[in-house]
Structure 1
Amino acid sequence: MISHAYPMAKPGYGKRNAPDQRPPAREDFALLPARERYVAGFIDRLPQGAAMSVKQLAKHLPLY
């Protein structure tokens, strides 16, 4: 869960969901190492259009 507002990108940029993407599941990133699983799970749950810069991710993810 995001503790404070995550910034949105300008229209036309940012996170985009795949057209046939299924809802997030607990086992989606189970094979990844802990740090990568943490980052992937966070990104997967961001809303459509969220900013995807390394600086924003680092600012919002303490383990990044």
Structure 2
Amino acid sequence: MNRFFNLVITLSLIAPVSIFFGYIIMDEGDQFTSEHYMVTALSAIPFIFAILIKFLMSGADKNNQ
């Protein structure tokens, strides 16, 4: 289960990073607008949820014996 969460976290981290660098490449280094910041921040929401679920499920794999 830990490997699955690491995969989900890695995949969900790709979106905000690629959007951030995509905007820089498309705008040829010009200044970001508020919409660029908003879209980059909103694309990080799956990453935040993946981290939260991993934290909440961290004790689920352990036996309580």
TM value normalised by structure 2: 0.30
Larger radius of gyration: 2
Name the structure where helix makes up a greater proportion of residues. Answer: 2
Provide the TM-score with structure 1 as the length reference.
0.31
